[in-house]
């Protein structure tokens, strides 16, 4: 009958003198520390450094986005006052034709016509500048697009 391998190892280990076992134990301990370092500590440290680098890039990107945000944008739903003159000038600058403009009971009714892309960009610009649409209807008119827009005005004193 053969003995298990570990039993043979233990018997040989016990036969070695103490002076010889101490350096072998120290070497085994050093090897265990090295294996732990390579398999657990080092990869964790590398992942931490990579995460810190990604975080730094995200912070820099957030700062860049914050700097790129226009300062004239409304703050927390606070609408800017868009005057009929400003709306007319911006429509003309966008290459649109303002076909109707009427102000009634805290509402500004506009009819605008032009190229679809330019019209949609202008509507986006009006909304971005604080225009609050009450209603919007779009109708194709040949190669152009017509929009009927009702903007909510905060009060008669707001329209200059």
Q: How far is CA 102 from CA 99, 105, 106, 151, 157, in A?
A: 10, 10, 11, 11, 15
DSSP, res 39: I
Predicted structure pTM score: 0.47
What pLDDT score was predicted for residue 1?
56
Q: How many CA atoms lie within 13 A of 26 on its CB side?
A: 6
Q: What is the pLDDT of residues 84-93, one digit of tens each?
A: 888 888 899 9
What pLDDT score was predicted for residue 47?
93
Q: What is the mean pLDDT of residues 5-24?
A: 89
Which parts of the chain fold into alpha helices (H)? 5-15, 18-36, 42-68, 84-93, 116-128
Residue that wins the pLDDT comparison between 157 and 141: 141
Tell me what the pLDDT averaged over the chain comes to.
Answer: 83
Q: What is the pLDDT of residues 91-148, one digit of tens each?
A: 999 999 989 888 887 888 899 999 888 888 999 898 888 888 889 998 888 888 899 9
Residue that wins the pLDDT comparison between 64 and 114: 114
Rounded Cα distance between 138 and 149, Å, is: 9
Q: What is the mean pLDDT of residues 60-84?
A: 64
Confidence of residue 69 (pLDDT cuts 50, 70, 90): low
Whether the predicted pLDDT of 27 surpasses 90? yes
The backbone torsions φ and ψ at residue 99, rounded to the nearest 5 degrees and listed phi first, read: -95, -15
């Amino acid at each position: 009958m053969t003995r298990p391998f570990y039993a043979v190892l233990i018997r040989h280990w016990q036969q070695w003198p103490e002076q010889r076992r101490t350096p072998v134990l120290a070497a085994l301990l050093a090897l265990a520390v090295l294996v732990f370092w390579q398999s657990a500590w080092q990869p964790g440290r590398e992942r931490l450094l990579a995460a810190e680098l990604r975080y730094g890039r995200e912070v820099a990107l957030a700062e860049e986005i914050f700097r790129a945000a226009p300062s004239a944008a409304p703050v927390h739903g606070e609408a800017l006052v868009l005057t009929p003159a400003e709306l007319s000038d911006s429509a003309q600058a966008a290459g649109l034709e303002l076909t109707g403009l009427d102000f009634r009971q805290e509402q500004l009714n506009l009819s605008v016509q032009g190229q679809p892309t330019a019209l949609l960009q202008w509507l986006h610009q009006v909304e971005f500048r604080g225009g609050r649409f009450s209603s919007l209807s779009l109708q194709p008119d040949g190669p152009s697009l017509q929009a009927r827009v009702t903007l909510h005005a905060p009060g008669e004193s707001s329209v200059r």
